[in-house]
Amino acid sequence: MNPVQDPAAAPEPHGSPPSAEPHPIPVAVSGVTKRFGTVRALGGVTLEFPAGQVTALMGENGAGKSTLLKILTGDHQPTEGAVVVNGKPLALDSPARARAAGIRIIPQEPEIIPHVSVAENVYAGALPRTRGRLLDRAGLNRRIKADLDRLGFAHVLDPALLGSQLTPAQRQLVEIMRALTGGTTARLIAFDEPTSSLSEHEVDALFTLIRRLRDEGIAIVYVSHRMREIFQLADRIAVLRDGSLVGVQDAGATHEGELVRRMVGRDLSAAFVRQRVAVERLVLDVQDLTTDDVTGISLQVRAGEVVGLAGLIGAGRSELALALAGDAPIHSGSVTLDGTPLRSGRPGEVIRAGLGLAPEERKAQALFLRQSIKDNTSLVVLDRLRRFRFVRRAAERRLAQEYTDRLRVRAPSIDHEVGKLSGGNQQKVVLARWLARKPKVLVLDEPTRGIDVGAKSEIYRIIADLAAQGVALLVISSELPELLGLADRVVVMQGGRITGELDRGDATEESILQLAMADDIVGPAPGASS
């Protein structure tokens, strides 16, 4: 994704020009409270979004960020208070009213129609029609070509591609085009965790675009749990906690530690502290493993050890995890779990042998979102809960309750639908499932992706507890401070191969990145421990 080659020379990216001088505070919320029954999601929030500035909106999952965004976009109406547009209260009683007022949102998970083209996705609901009410394809093609050229996306987005063929970055671009096309000028654009599926290069390009929109006078709201992004991009930072606005600060006048304390009400400086467990028993032994995506992988994980797996997007880390879990065919090499060879393509056999995988895409690959916490937790232990082919329901409930209590899953009951939980609580349900299985090896792929700092601290505690119990852990993460804090050793991949291994005392962000970018290296890099 490289939509902007020369930001200074870029054409106007949005709608028709405003008819009057833009208001310095185009959008604000005043005294906004939102209740769902007896639950207060927001309480008296007053917050301005100045034109030409990036306002970062931060807080734990459940702090009220999503509710505030939905009020801005007309999906929810406030119980008390109002949205103020150009200095006047405005009833945003539908998404259409919010869009007409110039308010847009780029959601964390773009809503793409898989079986229609990029052009049809961009203008869904406003497609050009012939007099006979048929789709005007010639008019659609002219319109999408003009907008692609105007936005600078022509070289990175093919309008004929189907929604199902788009990369995560291209899906984001489709959402951005939706926000920046139409008859009304965008006053405010909100980005909700936009980089969670993007490569580093694509993130840089997205930031260039956001800065360009900011410089053109649009108010930007940026929601992210990634501190580095916040300090790269934001002009000001607003923090929500438990539905209330804790405060607003200039980004240059605060630091990460202070933000964390504001978000969670406590210091998380000891989040990575854990008791090291020195156990020599080899649990996972991978020798010269080759699949369609990885080549010659050899690594070992011992009982009670946390091994970090680092690398840039496309390095093959997730593909290796799927192969270990039996979900991808192995062409050569071997995987041995506690002395037992594992066969390729046998996920059930792998689970029974004692290996569990919490995949990166928990919603798509791990959870049944419309099923309960109980059903999701007990999924891999039903064989242990059966008697005469019938599941013992009382035992299932006790087991689900035990592990959701242990992991502090915040929900009304174990019958609550998983899809309605926050990202952090959904991840805890995935972990509860594997804890109930009592694995010997647990592979965690991006275990804190899209999770707030408070929930991250709890995930780190769970990892530390599992290591203390003798579980062998392989943790894949794109957040280098996380790997450096958690791992006893860091194995680095690039291009489907291992390029080096670093002991805890030798690992730094710089040394990991050097190995992660060493795409000309086959086998351990010079100077790296083996």
pLDDT in tens, 438-468: 899 999 998 887 676 767 788 888 888 889 8
Confidence of residue 7 (pLDDT cuts 50, 70, 90): very low
Instruction: Give tens-digit pLDDT for 39-82.
Output: 788 999 999 999 999 999 988 766 888 899 999 999 999 999 99
- Residue 513 is given by DSSP the state H
Rounded mean pLDDT, 14-40? 73
Instruction: Check whether residue 307 and residue 395 sit in a common domain.
Output: yes
Residue 5 is predicted with a pLDDT of 35
What is d(CA 96, CA 427) in angstroms, rounded to the nearest whole number?
A: 33
Instruction: Give tens-digit pLDDT for 242-276.
Output: 889 999 999 999 988 788 778 766 555 555 665 66
Instruction: Check whether residue 340 and residue 239 sit in a common domain.
Output: no
Instruction: Check whether residue 340 and residue 472 sit in a common domain.
Output: yes
Instruction: Give tens-digit pLDDT for 119-138.
Output: 999 988 788 888 878 888 88
Instruction: Check whether residue 245 and residue 312 sit in a common domain.
Output: no
Instruction: Give tens-digit pLDDT for 301-341.
Output: 999 999 999 987 778 999 999 999 998 899 999 999 999 99
Instruction: Check whether residue 356 and residue 412 sit in a common domain.
Output: yes
Q: Is 75 exposed, middle or buried (0-12, 13-18, 19+ CB in 10 A)?
A: middle
Residue 4 is predicted with a pLDDT of 38
pLDDT above 80: residue 198: no
Confidence of residue 500 (pLDDT cuts 50, 70, 90): very high
In a domain, 395, yes or no: yes
Closest by CA to 256, choosing from 26, 10, 481, is 481
In a domain, 133, yes or no: no
**Domain-ending residue, one of 265, 300, 329:** 265
Domain span at residue 473 reads 282-516
Instruction: Check whether residue 241 and residue 339 sit in a common domain.
Output: no
Look at 179 and 76; give whichever has higher pLDDT: 76
Instruction: Check whether residue 354 and residue 475 sit in a common domain.
Output: yes
**Domain-ending residue, one of 239, 265, 291:** 265
Look at 343 and 217; give whichever has higher pLDDT: 217
Confidence of residue 182 (pLDDT cuts 50, 70, 90): low
pLDDT above 50: residue 144: yes
- For the beta sheet containing 236-241, the strands, ordered from the edge strand earlier in sequence to the opposite edge, are 103-106, 188-192, 219-223, 54-58, 236-241, 244-250
Write the CATH number for 301: 3.40.50.300
Instruction: Check whether residue 207 and residue 316 sit in a common domain.
Output: no
In a domain, 26, yes or no: no
Instruction: Check whether residue 248 and residue 384 sit in a common domain.
Output: no
**Domain-ending residue, one of 265, 299, 324:** 265
In a domain, 120, yes or no: no
Instruction: Check whether residue 335 and residue 422 sit in a common domain.
Output: yes
- For the beta sheet containing 441-445, the strands, ordered from the edge strand earlier in sequence to the opposite edge, are 355-358, 441-445, 472-476, 306-310, 489-494, 497-503
One-letter-per-residue 3-state SS of 422-433: CHHHHHHHHHHH
In a domain, 55, yes or no: yes
> Which residues are CB-neighbours of 194 under 8 A, at least 6 positions away?
106, 108, 172, 206, 222, 224
In a domain, 28, yes or no: no
In a domain, 7, yes or no: no
In a domain, 129, yes or no: no
Q: How many domains does the chain have?
A: 2
Instruction: Check whether residue 204 and residue 300 sit in a common domain.
Output: no
Instruction: Check whether residue 441 and residue 495 sit in a common domain.
Output: yes
